[in-house]
Amino acid sequence: MLVEVRSLGERTYTLEVDPDATVLHCKHLLEPMVADGSDASRYTLVHLGNVLGTSRDRMTLAELGFADRDFFVLVISASERAASVAEAMLAAQQAAAAQQAEAAPLRLARMEGRMAPRLAHYSASVRKQVLAALGTLDPATLAQHADAVVARLDDSDSWSVRCQALATLGKLYPASLAQYGDAVVARLEDSEAWGRQAALVTLGKLHPATLAWHADAVVARLQDPRWTVRKTALETLGKLALATLAPHFNAVVARRGDAVDSVREKARQLSGCLRWYRCRLRLLCVERLTLYWYALPYRPGGPGHARDVQELDQMMRLCNQDQSTRAEKRRRRAEDGHAATQ
């Protein structure tokens, strides 16, 4: 197999070794390639963010889990031993951090094929860890496993698994999450308050137009016996457009008398926005009525319209008279001029 080794000086070396080759053997193969007078004892290799110290020199590449597209980062320490240790540790840590960031997508890609089947593992903790790992994928890749995640919403053994499944679904793009809106709404009836709260949080990540389809189900949670669920329901309703939320004004106002201070405060904020919205609607209605009553006399057949028509006719007659008077004056001047010439 071919093993790529990258140095901190941005040089790349390629080794051809067997999977059973040890880390120390790879270091010895690098000696003639580096060609700076250093020996293998001063080399430190980093793999997937893990610094391979001298204690791992006897480990093989297979034992390290070295796979295709993996690579080593080479750190060469200074000649002086005191400075060597400090410099090597600092350089190795920097190289490990850089390699972790670069190797993360590759590591996730390798794990991706193994995670989905483990969602059916007998251990609830394993299922939860797999769901959390899936949540680290980018939304487009996660969408490919969304059906398997949705299946965990009905996990009967552990409420924490159901909550983690809801949290993972919340990492999807809103358009992808909308396809599973009904499945998320069904968890609003979860036997555990944490499950109902997690469902409300996930619904809050939908586009407001899509969330409007589930507004009634969210409003029903304002009567939940758990105060954290009631507060989360108010927060989710706050993401709706005011026009959509306005029909539920009374349900929101009723929470202003809640026994919990934080719920009352959230209800006051939301009801205040709704009151201002309703005031704006009334002002708009008054403005339109005012314009209507102002324009009413000028409708066809109205007194204002008749008066305007009469004034327009009078203006036209005056205009015609003025034009005829000018023509008569021109004719008379022409006749006078003709008589004078004779």
pLDDT at position 231 is 94
The rounded distance, in Å, linking the Cα atoms of 125 and 111 is 17
The rounded distance, in Å, linking the Cα atoms of 221 and 254 is 13
Range 2-106 has CATH code 3.40.50.1010? no
Q: Which CATH architecture has domain 121-227?
A: Alpha Horseshoe (1.25)
Which DSSP helix (H) or strand (E) runs through 57? none
Residues 158-216: pLDDT tens digits?
899 999 999 999 999 999 999 999 999 999 999 999 999 999 999 999 999 999 999 99
In the structure encoding, which two tokens stand for residue 314, read together? 């009078």
The angle at the Cα of 261, spanning 256 to 263, to the nearest 5 degrees, equals 55
Question: Which parts of the chain fold into alpha helices (H)?
Answer: 23-34, 61-64, 81-115, 124-134, 139-142, 146-151, 159-169, 174-177, 181-186, 193-203, 208-211, 215-220, 227-237, 242-245, 249-254, 261-295, 303-341
Residue count of the chain: 342
pLDDT at position 45 is 85
Per-block mean pLDDT, blocks of 10 residues, the chain (342 long): 79 85 86 76 79 81 78 72 47 58 51 64 85 86 88 88 93 92 93 93 93 93 93 93 88 90 91 85 80 70 70 77 68 69 63
The residue written with tokens 């009967």 in the block is 156
Question: Global pTM?
Answer: 0.56
CA distances from 261 to 219, 267, 310, 315 (A): 19, 10, 69, 72
The rounded distance, in Å, linking the Cα atoms of 240 and 245 is 6
In the structure encoding, which two tokens stand for residue 285, read together? 């209605």
Domain spans of the chain, in order of start? 2-106, 121-227, 241-323
